[in-house]
Chains A and B, each alone.
Chain A
Amino acid sequence: MTDHPPDTAPSRLFTVARRLGTEMFTLAITLLGLLAMTFLIGRVVPIDPVLSIVGERATQEQYDAVRLALGLDEPLWKQFAIYVGDAVQGDLGTSIRTREPVLTEISRYFPATLELATLATIIGVLVGVPAGVLAATRPGTLADQIVRIVGLMGYSMPVFWLGLVGLLVFYGQLGWVGGPGRLDASYEMMMEFTITQYTGMILIDTALNGNWPMFANAFSHIILPAGLLGYVSMAYISRMTRSFMMNELGQEYITTARVKGMPEWRVIWVHAMRNVLVPLITVIALSYAYLLEGSVLTETIFAWPGLGSYITNALFAADMPAVLGGTVVVGAVFVALNMASDILYRLVDPRAR
């Protein structure tokens, strides 16, 4: 690869800096591509951006004034340059419905999705990984079959149906959990006055404020949708963990660990698990990213004011700036998570460094 001898290899710091630089460059290119996509979509869809602002009964003068203000008389490349410039400064346009900056709105909706997706992923990992390991270490046994069947149900049952049944049983019949929404209505009204909002994630904010009754209420609301999404991601994670673990347990270094007289828990959870983590990180990151896009169906059923329902509502209202702004945020989150999983991957796998 390099033409200098290995003993004058560049210093470690230099290597890290160069890799980080490459990484940043890739990141910038990817985000630019993302903006180009949303920009083009914005020009291609048959929705007149001027008309959706001024309304159908505007005069020609009003129409032209807005058109000029939006910069639509400029050549396309210049419009794109302005669009990118604005986006870099955090201006993703103004929502047509609410006249609020899209980014401000998204910063209100995104924490709800982030909170839900994070809790769901934690549940998925905490249940899915041990279940997958259990199945891999006892292939063909009852435990393996149970993990397989439970996983298969997670794959195949539609999430909106599970959500409705879950609400019916756990909220309607048993009353164990809170209903739709992030809080009971009474708490919802109190929230603005009693809670300092640091993150927009209610569980974290109430905990930071030490308001435990409200925390408990928020938890009772989030646990059903998070459990549901966690179940779906658990189904995926447990299947992948099982197959990765089976593969590693067949490797020769596992025999070495056993020859050394290591107890079975150490063989599995230290020797094999460290190797399983390498591909598993990517799987978990992908499943997390998928949840962060905002699952429209779940958010609709649970009246969860997240990114998925924000984008969907904007789409129904032909609010293109909001739709495209949401798309940019989702894309950026996806890219960021990919990068994070890349870095984690290097941390656990010395061969990739």
Chain B
Amino acid sequence: MSLLSVKNLRVTFETETGPVQAVRGVSFSLGRERLGIVGESGSGKTMTGRAVLRLIRPPGRIEADEMRFDGIDLMAASEGQMRALRGQRIAMVMQDPKYSLNPVMTVGQQLTEGLRQRDRLGKADAVKRALAALEAVQIRDPERVMTAYPHELSGGMGQRVMIAMMLIPEPDLLIADEPTSALDVTVQAEVLSILDALVRDRGMGLIFISHDLRLVARFCDRVLVMYKGRVVEELAASDLMAAQHPYTRGLLNCLPRIGGSRGPLPGLDRSADWAV
């Protein structure tokens, strides 16, 4: 049985000029594997990830024919059931640790919060678990980081803290929403390899959302290409370079190549027909 199955997912925002559909009928299923979702800004990839967690705030609305996680109907689940899933079984790493960590709470408070509040762990036990989690993301002096505030950390450190925080409850599914886009290129590689090892060791399902095609091709088993709220192509990551769909080809052609011709990069053909 698949871990997550989504059929005809739609996310709609009511605006003053009428409803706007950010996600228009996305279907996919996921086992304990790595699924990449790629697409340009506004293609609906982030909204797809958040819809799985049911974290679209009003006036946004989520509809789907089916959205099941490990046999649980996510569309019918109560808010309380969703909260239980969110903390424990589905986690999400977001783009920029500068914004995704609470600026006025110490790293330690944020890391131990779930353990203390939900699992009713004592302070000492929670701190021990948090320190272990920081070590797992290769932070060298976890004691110091625990007492630090987010603004005192570098971007790479912050994102490792974020990953540690999300992996403490050992979730079954991790949604990584552009986890390295805000980081320096050298740090990106480090964070990715940490994420890669953890997902592999713990046998989690992963949804990796990115606009970086090559990264996704290297990192994932399967790729969904999204355009204007729809999936235009689904293919194995190894076949990405041989993609058929003109939009995917267009995205690939936009990438500059070392040693390639230095002419202007081709523009992206955004044909409206593909999104129909």
Contact = CB atoms under 8 A, between A and B. Distances in A.
A274 B106 CA distance: 12
B87 A261 contact: yes
Interface in B83-111: 83-88, 91-92, 94-96, 99-106
Interface stretch (A49-57, A227-235, A248-256): A248-256
A253 B113 contact: no
B31 interface: no
Contacts of A259: 53, 55, 86, 91-92, 166
B78 interface: no
A253 B158 CA distance: 12
Contacts of B162: 256
6 contacts: A255-B92, A259-B92, A260-B166, A261-B87, A350-B106, A350-B149
B104 A255 contact: no
Q: Which 3 A-B pairs have the closest CB atoms?
A: A261-B87, A252-B99, A261-B86
Contact of A256 (B50, B101, B106, B118): B101
B163 to A, nearest CB: 12
Given A274-B104, A348-B104, A262 B113 contact: yes
Nearest to A252: B99
B165 interface: yes
B61 interface: no
Interface string B126-166: 00000000000000000000000101000000000010011
Given A260-B86, A260-B114, A261-B84, A253 B92 contact: no
Contacts of A10: none
Size bracket, chain A contacts: 20 to 34
A183 to B, nearest CB: 44
A57 to B, nearest CB: 68
A274 B87 contact: no
B117 A350 contact: no
Given A259-B92, A260-B114, A275-B102, A351 B151 contact: yes
Contacts of A255: 50, 55, 92, 94, 100
Nearest to B162: A256
A257 interface: yes
Contact of A252 (B85, B87, B96, B151): B96
Nearest to A276: B104
Contact of B83 (A251, A261, A278, A348): A261
B103 A252 contact: no
A275 B104 CA distance: 7
Contact of B94 (A252, A274, A275): A252
A260 B165 contact: yes
A234 B219 CA distance: 54
Contact of A263 (B53, B83, B85): B83
Contacts of B149: 350-351
Interface of A: 251-253, 255-263, 266, 271, 274-275, 278, 348-351
B8 to A, nearest CB: 24
B102 A274 contact: yes
A253 B53 CA distance: 15
A301 B105 CA distance: 47
Contacts of A350: 103-104, 106, 149, 151
Counting chain A CB atoms within 10 Å of each CB, the highest count among B50, B87, B88, B151 belongs to B87
A275 B86 contact: no
A294 to B, nearest CB: 35
Contacts of A262: 83, 87, 113-114, 117
A82 B48 CA distance: 74
B104 A256 contact: no
Contacts of A266: 117
A297 B118 CA distance: 53
Counting chain A CB atoms within 10 Å of each CB, the highest count among B50, B104, B114, B166 belongs to B104
Nearest to B94: A252
B100 A258 contact: no
Interface string B150-189: 0100000000001001100000000000000000000000
A259 to B, nearest CB: 5
A350 B55 CA distance: 29
A257 B84 contact: no
A350 B113 CA distance: 19
Interface string B45-61: 00000100101000000
A251 B98 CA distance: 11
Interface in B108-124: 113-114, 117-118
Interface in B194-230: none
A348 B95 CA distance: 26
Counting chain A CB atoms within 10 Å of each CB, the highest count among B92, B95, B100, B165 belongs to B100
